[in-house]
Structure 1
Amino acid sequence: MDRDTYASREITQLKKGWLSYKQKKRITPWLFVAPCILIILLVTIFPTIYSFGLSLTKWEISLPDRPFIGLGNYTALIRDARFRNSILITAVLVVVGVGVEMLLGFGLGQILSVKMKGKRIIVAALLLPVMVMPIVVGYTWRLLWDAMYGPINQIIGWIIGRPFQIAWLAKTPTAIFAILVTEIWQWTPFMFLVFLSGIVSLDTEIFEAADIDGASSWEKLRFMTIPLLRPIIIVALLIRGLDALKFFDVIFALTGGAPGNSTETISFYIYKTGYQFFRLGYGAAASFILLIALIIIITYLLKIFKTVTE
């Protein structure tokens, strides 16, 4: 290659720039998403790594330093009866609460999927609870469950025809029941909206064909509606289940974890451990266990969703 040819190729490369067209095409999208990735690193990944490092120390406000104890916090949590109870309470609220919400939401969606007078007003009224802040819901229902002046006791007494008084929030079984009712009241509208949207989007022609073939309402529900709604069911379960796992606001306002610590969820346990007792390393370990549980549940549900949609 002579000197003039080499020089001309260098000049051409300089005019084009240091990168080829293919390289620019490959790099350009990353330049657009780089700010978002940087923000995620700053507000999510870095705090997560820092929290994990914190969970390996015995850092308490009363201690001048942070002695490294390895997995000591995690082994202590396994032996902690209060932590195990918070897992049980969380599981009950998620399984029972979300399960009932799904059943009620599906039933309401099925009923209101047909044309009827005043449907828009009914749907708007049903969606009101989910628009209220959870902390407001908690304090409102605390007044409703009040043993002395709460309207719930008064209504029950009016129905049975004699004075009725029970301290709903003073005993563990009734307190859990009160939390479940409050949770179901607020979040059933979310499930209702999801299922209603799914049901009205189904192709009506297949149901008309089933009517011609003489299929009953139960057969259409079992063999057509539910199978067609499986992807929507999984998505609703994923969104609501993950939200229920961090259940905090209503319990904070309704019971404060009482009586004793018997109605604490994992999120509430982490809050009290880290921000009331200032056992920051111990609370970080508990939060990391919750994170691992969330990752496992999300992975499992996404696997089911992929299987259903294929």
Structure 2
Amino acid sequence: MSSETPTVPLQEQSTDLAGGAPLPQKKMSKGVTERDRPLWLLAPGGLLITVIILIPLALAVYMSLIDLDQYTLRKWLATPFIGLENFVEAITKTDLLRSIWISVSFAVISTAVTVPLGVAAAVVTQNAFRGRSVVRAIFLVPYILPSFVVATVWRTMLQPDGIVNGILNNIGMDSTLWLNGPMSYWTLVFVEIWAAWPFIYLLALAGLQSVDHEVHEAAAIDGALWWRKLREVIFPYLKGPVSLAFLLGTLNHINNFTLPFVLFGAPAPADVNVLPILVYVTSFQSFRFGLSAAMAVVSLILIAIPLFIYLRAVKLDVSEDGGKK
């Protein structure tokens, strides 16, 4: 038996195909419509953001408002609500303000050194020369090494009987305690700079790739010297990448936990008791989980300030460019 399928008259088909009224679309009572499809495509990412970021953030804020410690942890949902007392105690009775100062100053100094160093390295390796690939590979060694490996190597080298003090003694200089005392702060700054500058180098090198070759030719024809060419041709192209590198580098320095933890241990010396180490010690050695959550919320606010400034500046730049067009 052969089943006959209904056919549409040729005249009606030609009318529809010739540009007449579009074929009516069936409205689906169930399922995803064309209008809602982009929202459904964003659903997996939104779910991950909710589970990984928003829910832990809400729990941290809630923990900062309750008296949660090792004694109330088993019944933490029934822990007494104490409001802002954890924040008051963190500011007045702990080393939070000192740790914030150490973290911010350490981050600013590290960024102020790594940004020019990374940009200079990118400019030097931009033009082709013999052995450029080898030099670029060597520059990336500190970046590809894990932070705990970097910290372990430097901790071994900076021991009182380590290789650094041995070299100083051989050249007639006095050895010192690099991992304790006043020099520990500058030790942390130096090791952080050594490990972080290749990241700035990569961003600056990526920005240099966007410089049009015709711009270089025009500058050469006009007889521009290297400094004027660098200031008026290359640096304008690096404004975006360097600004992003400055922000990401600063935030990474403030949030860096692995390097000071492995390099100095916990609790760390007073001069390098950065904010992540203080939060860790308060939470997992003193078992004051509510107090440490309050410190973590303060650190989040501290990190949000430069991020807000950067996003605001980017928004203003986009608005100005749109207005010019």
Instruction: Please say if 1:18 is aligned against 2:29.
Output: yes
> What does residue 192 of structure 1 align with?
201
Is residue 267–residue 273 contact of structure 2 (8 Å, CA) maintained in 1?
Answer: yes
Q: Which moved more, 1:122-131 or 1:290-299?
A: 290-299
Structure-2 separation of matches of 1:93 and 1:110? 26
Q: 8 Å contact 1:170–1:258 — kept in the other structure? A: no
Q: Percent sequence identity over matched residues?
A: 28
Could you tell me which residue of structure 2 aligns to residue 84 of structure 1? 97
Deviations 1:199-234 (A, max 9, x none): 233113223322332322111222222122111111
- The DSSP-based 3-state class of the residue aligned with 2:33 is helix
Q: Distance in 1 between matches of 2:40 and 2:267?
A: 51
2:256–2:276 contact (8 Å) kept in structure 1: yes
- TM-superposed CA distance for 1:54, in Å, is 0.9
Shift in Å, 1:259:
5.8
Distance verdict in 2 for CA 1:258–1:54, change over 3 Å: closer
Query: Could you tell me how far 1:157 is from its partner in structure 2?
Result: 3.2
**Separation in 1, partners of 2:152, 2:272:** 16
Equivalent residues, number: 292
Structure 2 partner of 1:41: 50
Residue by residue over 1:142-199, the C-alpha shift from the partner in whole angstroms, topping out at 9 and shown as x without a partner, is 0111122x222222333xx325311111213x11111111111111111112112212
The alignment's TM-score, normalised by the length of structure 1, stands at: 0.87
Distance 1:240 1:232 in 2: 12
Q: Is the 8 A contact 1:257 1:263 kept in 2?
A: no
The answer on whether the counterparts of 1:57 and 1:70 sit within 8 Å (CA) in structure 2 is: yes
Structure 1 residue ranges without an equivalent (≥5): 1-12
Distance 2:68 2:176 in 1: 43
Shift of 1:30: 1.8
Q: 1:308 deviation in Å?
A: 4.1
Q: Which residue of 1 is the match for residue 114 of structure 2?
A: 101
Structure showing greater radius of gyration is: 2
**Distance in 2, Cα, partners of 1:227 & 1:156:** 43
User: Residue 55 of structure 1 corresponds to which residue in structure 2?
Assistant: 64
Is the 8 Å Cα contact of residues 87 and 266 (structure 1) preserved in structure 2?
yes
In structure 2, what is the equivalent of residue 113 of structure 1?
126
- Kept in 2, the 8 Å contact 1:147–1:166? The answer is yes
Distance 1:257 1:95 in 2: 23
Candidates 166, 170, 173, aligned match of 2:180 = 170
Tell me the residue number matched to 1:220: 229
- Aligned match of 1:136 in 143, 149, 170? 149
What is the match of residue 5 of structure 1? Answer: none
Question: For residues 74-109 of structure 1, what are the alpha-carbon distances to aligned partners after superposition, in whole Å with 9 as ceiling and x for unaligned?
Answer: 122222451111101111221011121111101111
**Partner Cα separation in structure 1 for residue 26 and residue 134 of structure 2:** 66
Distance in 2 between residues matched to 1:15 and 1:162, nearest whole Å: 89
Identify the structure with the greater helix proportion: 1
Residues 18/76 of structure 1: CA separation in 2 closer, same or farther (3 Å cut) = same
Amino acid at match of 1:46: I
Match of 1:284 among 286, 290, 293: 293
Letter of the structure 2 residue corresponding to residue 45 of structure 1: L
Choose 244-253 or 196-205, whichever is displaced more. 196-205
Is 2:181–2:269's contact at 8 Å kept on the other side of the alignment?
no
